[in-house]
Structure 1
Amino acid sequence: MNRIGLIFSSFLVLIALASSTLFVVDQRQFGVVLALGKFKDVISEPGLNFKLPPPFQNVIYIDKRLLTLDSSDTEPMLTAEKQRVVIDWYVRWRISEPTEYIRNVGLNEGAGTIQLNRVVRNAFQEEVNKRTVKELLSLKREDLMADVKAEVLAKVRGAKPWGVDIVDVRITRVDYVEAITESVYRRMEAERKRVANELRSTGAAEGEKIRADADRQREVAIANAYRDAQKIKGEGDAEAARIYGEAFGKDPQFAQFYRSLEAYKTSFANKSDVMVLDPSSSEFFKVFRGGVAPAANNKK
């Protein structure tokens, strides 16, 4: 029984020892073999590989994919006109030569990130010092990013190459520092309020002008309409008088009789009307007394 346990234990030890000598490199990584803590070899091709068991050899992995470095420094930079601005940027980079990277930078991506952040920051500071804020916000921003990329490439490909490739450098934001931004916003707000007040004043003046012109046109229209109405009324009265004149001129006695009847009708319009006069001597009741007879009776 003890022999079986010993065999089984030995088998497990052999499996553990064999597994410690095998490692798999993924297609997204570089396999770095370290011998007693020192760099020995880089495995670039994916697959199963062999090494000595620990502590003689160990394996670490470095990412070979495209990496992104975002700016984390909020320190302002000075432009050509000594304006303090804050720039947000990012860099797309990858490890292209793992052997050079390990020897000159470090054993992981973090070491490259720290050093690359410093280099990119210094390159941006140098290029921003040559340009004005207007140029940073205009189409010349592309020239700035191209110049920064060129400076960073020159640094990482220098006497001690880093073994990295800089794919792209981009600016995501250019802004004044918070104190200046607040001052600019206050000035913009004051200017907008001034423009708004000016527009309101101009609008009120234009409104008064339009209302006054509308009132004037209304008065002119009413006056013209009244004038035309009076003119038409006068012409109508004249035409009516002419017609009456022509009609009554043919028989004056009938005309007088008709007008007297109209006068009586107007005078006695209400039942409560009372007139105190002498019918025998008043000219008003001359028709009743037979002083004026219709033309038809006269002819008879």
Structure 2
Amino acid sequence: MNRIGTFLVGALLLLVFASSTLFVVDQRQFAVLYALGEIKDVISEPGLKWKAPAPFQNVVYLDRRIQTLDSPDPRPIFTAEKKSLVMDWLIKWRITEPRQFIRNNGVDIRNAELRLSPIVQAALNEEVTRRTVSAVLATDRERVMQGVLARLADDAKNFGIEIIDVRIRRVDFSAQITDAVYRRMESERKRVANELRSTGAAEGEKIRADADRQREIIVAEAYRDAQKIKGDGDAKASALYSEAFGRDPQFAQFYRSLDAYRMSFRNKSDVMVLDPSSDFFKTMRGGATAR
């Protein structure tokens, strides 16, 4: 029993010793080996590694993957026209020199990002202040990003890192300028709308006037054609009457007298005062013979 207990204690001590001397390096990490507080080695090859037990040696790991730093608090930047822009940016970076990184920032990546943010903002300011608003928004946007990337190269070496990419995600006017721009856009749209309304009203009046003119022309032409047709009809009727009455003048005289009587005595209330011996009553007196 004592032998088994001794064996178990020995195995346990061996396991503790092995766990304090062996460590695993992941392919996504740098392993920084410290010996009595000083950097002894930086291991980048993944696998199982050996070290002296603590406190003689210990290991600190650094993430070697690409990191993303976003703009913490976008601040106004003045362009060459003295107009204020608010820019939202990000950078992609990674650790390339672990020793240099630890000397300048320690082992916490957040320390590096806190120091790197104002440097990026300053580089962006220098690039933007040399350009106009239209250039920043349209033509020179890519040049601005490349210029910031070039300005950060030396600072990145001091940090022990590499800046892989710089991106401007959003560019806006400051609140005061945005309100002024919106007001100007609104007034411009109103001016254009009023011009369109005026043009439309003028075109409407022109169309109505043209329609009225065409209506008058059409009515006049229709009246002219109607009078012409009526005149032709009256002429033909007169010719027919003349031809018919010419064949028998006495009957024509009798027919016309009857027509005159019918028109004269149409209403019972009509009163006529005439001499019975006048020619108007000649037919009634038998002065004409009807056939």
Is TM > 0.5 for Structure 1 vs Structure 2? yes
Q: Which letter does structure 2 place at the counterpart of 1:244?
A: Y
Judging changes above 3 Å, is the alpha-carbon distance between structure 1 residues 266 and 57 closer, same or farther for their aligned structure 2 residues?
Answer: farther
Distance 1:205 1:276 in 2: 62
Distance 2:36 2:3 in 1: 36
Distance 2:16 2:280 in 1: 151
Judging changes above 3 Å, is the alpha-carbon distance between structure 1 residues 75 and 276 closer, same or farther for their aligned structure 2 residues?
Answer: closer
**Residue aligning to 2:177:** 180
Q: Does 1:195 align with 2:192?
A: yes
**Residue aligning to 2:107:** 107
Judging changes above 3 Å, is the alpha-carbon distance between structure 1 residues 247 and 64 closer, same or farther for their aligned structure 2 residues?
Answer: farther
Which one of the candidate residues 223, 226, 229 is aligned to 1:226?
223
Deviation readout 1:5-63 (Å, 9 max, x if unpaired) = 56445534433442343332222222222334443322212222223344433333222
**Residue aligning to 2:48:** 48
Judging changes above 3 Å, is the alpha-carbon distance between structure 1 residues 257 and 29 closer, same or farther for their aligned structure 2 residues?
Answer: farther
The CA deviation at 1:97 is 2.8
Higher mean Cα deviation, 9-18 or 129-138?
9-18
**Residue aligning to 2:24:** 24
**Residue aligning to 1:292:** 288
Alignment of 1:207-286 (within 5 A): 207-260=204-257
TM-score by length of 2: 0.82
Judging changes above 3 Å, is the alpha-carbon distance between structure 1 residues 267 and 39 closer, same or farther for their aligned structure 2 residues?
Answer: farther
Q: Which letter does structure 2 place at the counterpart of 1:84?
A: S
Judging changes above 3 Å, is the alpha-carbon distance between structure 1 residues 120 and 276 closer, same or farther for their aligned structure 2 residues?
Answer: closer
Higher mean Cα deviation, 221-230 or 285-294?
285-294
Q: Does 1:168 align with 2:165?
A: yes
Judging changes above 3 Å, is the alpha-carbon distance between structure 1 residues 275 and 61 closer, same or farther for their aligned structure 2 residues?
Answer: same
Deviation readout 1:147-178 (Å, 9 max, x if unpaired) = 22111113323xxx433222222222232221
Judging changes above 3 Å, is the alpha-carbon distance between structure 1 residues 275 and 213 closer, same or farther for their aligned structure 2 residues?
Answer: closer
Q: Aligned to 1:45, what secondary structure does the other structure show?
A: coil
Q: Which letter does structure 2 place at the counterpart of 1:237?
A: D
**Residue aligning to 1:127:** 127
Unaligned runs of 5+ in 1: none
Unaligned runs of 5+ in 2: none
Distance 1:167 1:293 in 2: 130
Q: Aligned to 1:73, what secondary structure does the other structure show?
A: coil
Judging changes above 3 Å, is the alpha-carbon distance between structure 1 residues 177 and 274 closer, same or farther for their aligned structure 2 residues?
Answer: closer
Judging changes above 3 Å, is the alpha-carbon distance between structure 1 residues 243 and 110 closer, same or farther for their aligned structure 2 residues?
Answer: same
Q: Which letter does structure 1 place at the counterpart of 2:115?
A: Q
Percent sequence identity over matched residues?
A: 59
Q: Which letter does structure 1 place at the counterpart of 2:124?
A: F
**Residue aligning to 1:144:** 144
Q: Aligned to 2:162, what secondary structure does the other structure show?
A: strand
Distance 1:263 1:51 in 2: 147
**Residue aligning to 1:34:** 34
The CA deviation at 1:105 is 3.7
Distance 2:271 2:100 in 1: 140
**Residue aligning to 1:118:** 118
Judging changes above 3 Å, is the alpha-carbon distance between structure 1 residues 244 and 61 closer, same or farther for their aligned structure 2 residues?
Answer: farther
**Residue aligning to 2:78:** 78
Distance 1:141 1:204 in 2: 45
Deviation readout 1:65-103 (Å, 9 max, x if unpaired) = 222222123221222232222222221222223333233
Q: Which letter does structure 1 place at the counterpart of 2:211?
A: A
The CA deviation at 1:216 is 3.2
The CA deviation at 1:128 is 1.9
Root mean square deviation, CA, Å:
3.2
The CA deviation at 1:267 is 7.1
Matched length:
290
Higher mean Cα deviation, 229-238 or 282-291?
282-291
Q: Which letter does structure 2 place at the counterpart of 1:145?
A: M
Distance 2:88 2:132 in 1: 17
